[in-house]
Structure 1
């Protein structure tokens, strides 16, 4: 029930009838500014005030500010929830925080994010994501990472997008022993974005 509906109910049928048809729009106009605050103080099934229940709050960004995790503009409500749940601000400047921030703009179940360090000098890093999970605008990935990057480091604006990675089971099954695997993929960087041959992995 909205604030306006509760006010109208409290005025009683006699007052509403004598006030006429203009009463409802008047009450709605006067109480509309209270709707957001009212939604935040409503109790949830878990006994929390909605404003402090990350699963129910209509304004996750408000809860983020209250708990020290600022939420950047442009995120959907669910993306805001995920960012606040990750408590990225508590780990600001770490690879984990950067990955958590980028994951908020990805789709899919895996939300794979790789942080490739020292890609263009000691102070630069690059973000790698899977094509099936990347947003339409890769600038969103860079912007999300920027909210958590350490001061002094630079983000490569060219996000690396790969079709998909291979599982460890696929690599060992298709490429044999560790020695053969090391010969085929001499570095971890060459192994991580490996695209499996068609039909060898689902």
Structure 2
């Protein structure tokens, strides 16, 4: 029930009739700004104010700020919930926190994120995602990663998007032993961009 509905109900039927048809739009205009704060303080089924219930709150970004997890602009309400749910504020500055933040803007089931450290210099890292899971706006990837990066490190503004990547399971299944793997990929640099044959990735 909106604040306007509660106010009109409290005025009573006789008052509403005498006030005329302009009463409703007047009350709605005066109380509309109060609807969102009122929704935040309404108790949920679990007995908490909605503002503190991640599954029910209409404003997950507020809860994120209150718990130390800033939410970048442009995310849907559900993606905001996902970002707060990762509790990234407990791991801020770690690769795990950066990956968790980026995963909130990806699609698909895998949501693969690679953090490539020391790409241009010791203070720069890069983000790599799969093309099938990348968001339409790649700057969103940088924006959410920036909320978790350590102070002093820089993010490469170009997100690396690959068609698909090789999993460890694929590499060991196809190439067998570590000796065969080392022969096929003499350096880590030659292994990381490896694109397996279609149908062999798992």
Alignment TM-score, normalising by the size of structure 2: 0.91
Q: 1:48 & 1:156 partners in 2: Cα distance? A: 42
Distance 1:201 1:100, change over 3 A: closer
**Is the CA contact (8 Å cut-off) linking 1:51 and 1:59 kept in structure 2?**
yes
User: Over residues 69-119 of structure 1, what are the superposed CA-to-partner deviations in whole Å (9 max), with x where a residue is unaligned?
Assistant: 121212111111111112223322111221122122212222111111111
User: Over residues 124-161 of structure 1, what are the superposed CA-to-partner deviations in whole Å (9 max), with x where a residue is unaligned?
Assistant: 11111111111122222122212221222121122111
2:28 aligned partner: 28
The farther-off stretch of 191-200 and 79-88 is 191-200
Aligned-pair RMSD on alpha carbons? 1.8
Q: 2:176 & 2:113 partners in 1: Cα distance? A: 27
Structure 1 gaps, min length 5? none
2:121 aligned partner: 121
> Where do residues 34-183 of structure 1 align in structure 2 (5 Å cutoff)?
34-183=34-183
Aligned-residue offset at 1:189 = 4.7
What's the secondary structure of 2:122's corresponding residue? coil
What's the secondary structure of 2:116's corresponding residue? strand
Aligned-residue offset at 1:57 = 0.5
2:16 aligned partner: 16
Following TM superposition, where does structure 1 have runs of at least 4 consecutive aligned residues deviating by more than 6 angstroms? none
Structure 2 gaps, min length 5? none
1:5 aligned partner: 5
What's the secondary structure of 1:127's corresponding residue? strand
**Is the CA contact (8 Å cut-off) linking 1:61 and 1:80 kept in structure 2?**
yes
What's the secondary structure of 2:121's corresponding residue? coil
Aligned-residue offset at 1:199 = 3.0
Matched residue pairs, number?
Answer: 202
Q: 1:201 & 1:124 partners in 2: Cα distance? A: 30
